[in-house]
Structure 1
Amino acid sequence: MTIKSKISFYISIIFTLLFGLICAIIIFIFSDFRKQEFEERLNEKAINTIKLLIEVKEIDNDILRIIDKNSINQLYDEKTLIFDENFNLIYSSLDDTKIKWTKSDLLYLKTHKSFLEKDKDHEIYGFFYDTNKKDYYALISANDNYGKRNLYFLIYLLTGSYILFTVLTWFLTFYIIKKQLIPLGNFHKKISEINDLNLEVTLESKQNSKNEISLLSNEFNFMMNRISDAYQKQKEFTAQASHELRTPIARISAQLENQIQAVDEKNKVIFKSLFSDIEQLKELINSLLILSKVDSRNNEKIEKTRVDEALYNSFEKIKKLFPDFKINFSMTDDEQLFDKLEINGNSKLIEIAFTNLLKNAYLYTDEKWVNVTITIHNNQMVLSFTNSGKTLSDEEVKTLFQPFMRGSNAKNTNGLGLGLRIVNRILQVSDYTISYNKETNLNTFIILF
């Protein structure tokens, strides 16, 4: 789960739980309020009934029942019982509602003065009325339909509000946080574009903003500028140093070549060995210059190159170096292929890449042959170089395109380990890819254009 999703999730959960807790507290408080209000109503009803019964002499039980029947109240299924001090029933209302009571209930009333208990849908209120002459006990059973109806309405209202609030909270939280963190997503996208061929990445930021993302973007841009400057200075030093070394190396090579002809056979072996080392050093300098040239062409105008023409030029160069090298070239007869033979890339660098692959095919095989094929696969042009020879291990394949990497099959072969690195860099500049596949005694390099 991303940080954006986590923040949205936790905030939504917190607000949902808080609002749910508030709704539960409101329902609890209102339920307790309804109960107290209902108890007060029943208490007032009990007192009024007892006073009418004992204080107004003109009122008998029948008249009291008529008054009780016609009294306006919000109570339903009401039943009123009045007892004297000897626990004798002296008054009972007209309705058929039954009240479950025992003598112990009346004794409890004498001690505690009142009680309220629940009996299914009804609530029973007991009240002890103490006069100077006699004591009276009242039991009233009623169903608070009015209060319960208000309570149920409040529960439905809060439940609906809770569901609506939860949906809106989750939606708005995810939407707002996603919108606010769009710069962070752009920040991640820009960072993912950074590689050794693309150090010119800059992020949009506001210089005077105190927003954390803007501050981070400013620091990132400052850091990338320093890295780019350091990397540029390194490339310039490599190019300049390599260029300056070429002249003295060329002089030493020419002088050694002249001395080989002049010395005797005994010293000729030594001079040939020195000449070989100088040539290898010259090749290393040329390779470093090529890598520097590749890096310096990142921002140049895009050029067009014909793959078949670059291949033919590479074939000619390799044949001059290795006349015994057999090159088998084939190309799929497909109309789509002819449209894709023209690619983006510098022709000289593309030729260097092809030449290095052909040279590798010659040096690391005993049979001195290579099959070069151009095909179409998934609407992409595929160029493959296949030769026989010892294949690389899985560990060697992982570092195949790293500088100065030499596999176990290169023990008896002179080389610098920069050829495939140069190939990979040249292809990377134009966003092409190269991969290595192996079969039994077959090595294949595949380029996807």
Structure 2
Amino acid sequence: MKIRNRIALQFSLIVATILLIFSVIIYVTTATYSREDFYDRLKSKALTTARFLIQVKEVDHNLLKIIDRNTLTALYDEKVLVFDERNRLIYASVDDHIIHYQRNLLDEVRQLKEVETWSDDNQLAGILYQEGGRKLVVLASAYDRWGRSKQKNLRTTLIWGLVGGIGLTIGLGIFFAGQSLQPIDEINSQVSTITARNLRQRLDEGDRRDEIDQLAVNFNAVLGRLEQAFEQQRSFVSHASHELRTPLAALKSEIQLGLLRPLKPAEYESILTNLLSDTDRLIALTNSLLFLARTLENISRMPLAPVQMEEVVLQARDELLSAKPGYHIEFDYANLPESEKETTVAGNEELLKRVLLNLMDNACKYSGNQTAHVRIGTNATSCWVSVRDEGIGMTPEEMELIFEPFYRTANAVGYEGFGIGLSICQRILELHQGHITVESRLNEGSQFTMQIAHL
């Protein structure tokens, strides 16, 4: 079922229920009031008849019957019976009609003083009249023709009003539900035209005031992120192809050179050395690309555990100095932590060590004195590690692009590298709900700071 029809149906059911309850309350209330009013009229008639019969000596039974039949307030099919203390009938307003009653009704009237009941289709009221030491039971019965007619008309009016109201509600519900959901239909039409080839297309956001406009705004934001992801993927494939083509072309050239003519052993040794160098470069690039791809996998697959950041810094420093003894790394605290918890984060030790290895290696590689200055500090919510060098630095424009895969600054072209390391660092820190920032001045040096919330 379409949402429009479902909304119209639900709205119609709610309105129909309200109308039905309202109609039943009106009908029951009116019927109760009409019935009680008629009973009051019967009691009044019974009381009047009893007073005429007992108090007015000039009025005999025949005259009283005439008065009862010709009074302006006479009721339809009206009958009045009066009984004495021995339940003997001493007066009947009509002789050719009978009021059906049970004998125990007279006892009930004497006990309760007033009784309201039914005699076939007629309403019957009984009262106990006491005057001059006499206790008379008066039964008055009549058919409420006017009240019944009024209730019938009311019932018909309520039924037609209910049917008409429900029909009108269904029609208006479908119309207004369609009007309200029309922007969603327009969004669906626009979304159906968006493909991988036109991700730049955006939905109409209206005035951004209602929920549907916000849906369009959020969908446009998703399209923007999707477009960015596609662009990054295309850029990644393009740069990866370019980087892989360079060592592969070198390998091919060296092999072609070796096959061109017979060479001396020393020349073959030189070619093999070059092939080994290019192969190592190709392996390093492939490993970097594979690691970068793995950092984009689901974070739920990455085990997290408490990690002591200063221990990771020291492990990374020792590992880098063992591989490259010519490097110098100075380590210090920006502020002494009061407890181990301030420098303990939830993370993956190997991945965090990979970040620090990359930052320290870059700092030493791009510094003339091959020295990296590492500091660790804490604040109220997080632990941070900064790696500073006194190397080539970069411009503000280059700082905005430095974390893009395969991006290298103009003055870094002469240094070994692929431009993947910092992108990997950023991905790893994003997986740890952290971030990395850079401060740099051209020809003066750079400082990279990684920050992660502590436990």
**Category of TM-score, reference length = shorter chain:** 0.5 to 0.7
Give the 3-state SS of the residue equivalent to 1:81 in structure 2: strand
Give the 3-state SS of the residue equivalent to 2:159 in structure 1: helix
- How far, CA to CA, are the matches of 2:262 and 2:162 in structure 1? 101
Give the 3-state SS of the residue equivalent to 1:82 in structure 2: strand
- How far, CA to CA, are the matches of 1:9 and 1:123 in structure 2? 44
The answer to whether the Cα contact below 8 Å between 2:101 and 2:119 also exists between their aligned partners in 1 is no
Q: 1:74 to 1:91 in 2, by over 3 A?
A: closer
Deviations along 1:192-220, one digit per CA (max 9) or x if unpaired, are 4444333123111134x431111221122
Give the 3-state SS of the residue equivalent to 1:77 in structure 2: coil
- Corresponding position of 2:122: 122
- Corresponding position of 1:75: 75
- Corresponding position of 1:43: 43
Give the 3-state SS of the residue equivalent to 2:129 in structure 1: strand
Task: Give, as a single letter, the amino acid of the residue that structure 1 aligns with 2:112.
Answer: H
- Corresponding position of 2:252: 253
- How far, CA to CA, are the matches of 1:153 and 1:221 in structure 2? 59
Shift of 1:51: 0.9
- Corresponding position of 1:239: 238
- How far, CA to CA, are the matches of 1:162 and 1:138 in structure 2? 43
- How far, CA to CA, are the matches of 1:101 and 1:237 in structure 2? 102
Deviations along 1:174-209, one digit per CA (max 9) or x if unpaired, are 2212210111233334334444333123111134x4
Task: Give, as a single letter, the amino acid of the residue that structure 2 aligns with 1:49.
Answer: T
- Corresponding position of 1:33: 33
Task: Give, as a single letter, the amino acid of the residue that structure 1 aligns with 2:13.
Answer: I
- How far, CA to CA, are the matches of 1:201 and 1:60 in structure 2? 103
- Corresponding position of 1:99: 99
Shift of 1:17: 0.7
- How far, CA to CA, are the matches of 1:95 and 1:35 in structure 2? 26
- What pairs with 1:370-385 in structure 2 (closer than 5 Å)? none
- How far, CA to CA, are the matches of 2:157 and 2:178 in structure 1? 31
Task: Give, as a single letter, the amino acid of the residue that structure 2 aligns with 1:196.
Answer: A
Shift of 1:136: 1.2
Shift of 1:69: 1.2
Give the 3-state SS of the residue equivalent to 1:260 in structure 2: helix
Matched, 1:52 2:52: yes
Q: 1:95 to 1:242 in 2, by over 3 A?
A: farther
Task: Give, as a single letter, the amino acid of the residue that structure 1 aligns with 2:76.
Answer: Y
- How far, CA to CA, are the matches of 2:54 and 2:258 in structure 1? 147
The answer to whether the Cα contact below 8 Å between 1:83 and 1:137 also exists between their aligned partners in 2 is yes
Shift of 1:263: 5.5
- Corresponding position of 1:166: 166
- Corresponding position of 2:142: 142
Q: 1:227 to 1:136 in 2, by over 3 A?
A: same
- How far, CA to CA, are the matches of 1:263 and 1:143 in structure 2? 133
- How far, CA to CA, are the matches of 1:223 and 1:126 in structure 2? 81
The answer to whether the Cα contact below 8 Å between 2:82 and 2:90 also exists between their aligned partners in 1 is yes
- How far, CA to CA, are the matches of 2:99 and 2:154 in structure 1? 30
Q: TM-score, normalised by structure 2?
A: 0.54
The answer to whether the Cα contact below 8 Å between 2:68 and 2:74 also exists between their aligned partners in 1 is no
- What pairs with 1:46-445 in structure 2 (closer than 5 Å)? 46-73=46-73, 75-94=75-94, 96-207=96-207, 209-243=208-242, 246=245, 249-250=248-249, 252-262=251-261
Q: 1:213 to 1:52 in 2, by over 3 A?
A: same
Q: TM-score, normalised by structure 1?
A: 0.55
Shift of 1:253: 3.4
Give the 3-state SS of the residue equivalent to 2:209 in structure 1: coil
- How far, CA to CA, are the matches of 2:101 and 2:193 in structure 1? 84
- How far, CA to CA, are the matches of 2:171 and 2:68 in structure 1? 56
- How far, CA to CA, are the matches of 1:203 and 1:116 in structure 2? 73
Give the 3-state SS of the residue equivalent to 1:57 in structure 2: coil
- How far, CA to CA, are the matches of 2:152 and 2:171 in structure 1? 29
Give the 3-state SS of the residue equivalent to 2:125 in structure 1: strand
The answer to whether the Cα contact below 8 Å between 2:116 and 2:125 also exists between their aligned partners in 1 is yes
- How far, CA to CA, are the matches of 2:7 and 2:107 in structure 1? 61
Shift of 1:248: 5.9
The answer to whether the Cα contact below 8 Å between 1:117 and 1:125 also exists between their aligned partners in 2 is yes
- How far, CA to CA, are the matches of 1:98 and 1:189 in structure 2? 79
Task: Give, as a single letter, the amino acid of the residue that structure 2 aligns with 1:118.
Answer: W
Q: 1:154 to 1:200 in 2, by over 3 A?
A: same
Please tell me the root mean square deviation across aligned C-alpha atoms, in Å.
3.0
Task: Give, as a single letter, the amino acid of the residue that structure 1 aligns with 2:52.
Answer: L
For structure 2, list consecutive stretches of 5 or more residues without a partner in the other structure: 283-455
Q: 1:150 to 1:74 in 2, by over 3 A?
A: farther
Give the 3-state SS of the residue equivalent to 2:127 in structure 1: strand
Q: 1:58 to 1:198 in 2, by over 3 A?
A: same
- How far, CA to CA, are the matches of 2:52 and 2:124 in structure 1? 21
Shift of 1:143: 0.7
- Corresponding position of 1:293: none
The answer to whether the Cα contact below 8 Å between 1:125 and 1:139 also exists between their aligned partners in 2 is yes
Deviations along 1:348-391, one digit per CA (max 9) or x if unpaired, are xxxxxxxxxxxxxxxxxxxxxxxxxxxxxxxxxxxxxxxxxxxx
Task: Give, as a single letter, the amino acid of the residue that structure 2 aligns with 1:224.
Answer: L
Give the 3-state SS of the residue equivalent to 1:139 in structure 2: strand
- How far, CA to CA, are the matches of 1:189 and 1:23 in structure 2? 44
- How far, CA to CA, are the matches of 1:141 and 1:212 in structure 2? 66
The answer to whether the Cα contact below 8 Å between 2:68 and 2:93 also exists between their aligned partners in 1 is yes
The answer to whether the Cα contact below 8 Å between 2:39 and 2:124 also exists between their aligned partners in 1 is no
Shift of 1:244: 6.3
The answer to whether the Cα contact below 8 Å between 1:125 and 1:140 also exists between their aligned partners in 2 is yes
Task: Give, as a single letter, the amino acid of the residue that structure 2 aligns with 1:97.
Answer: H
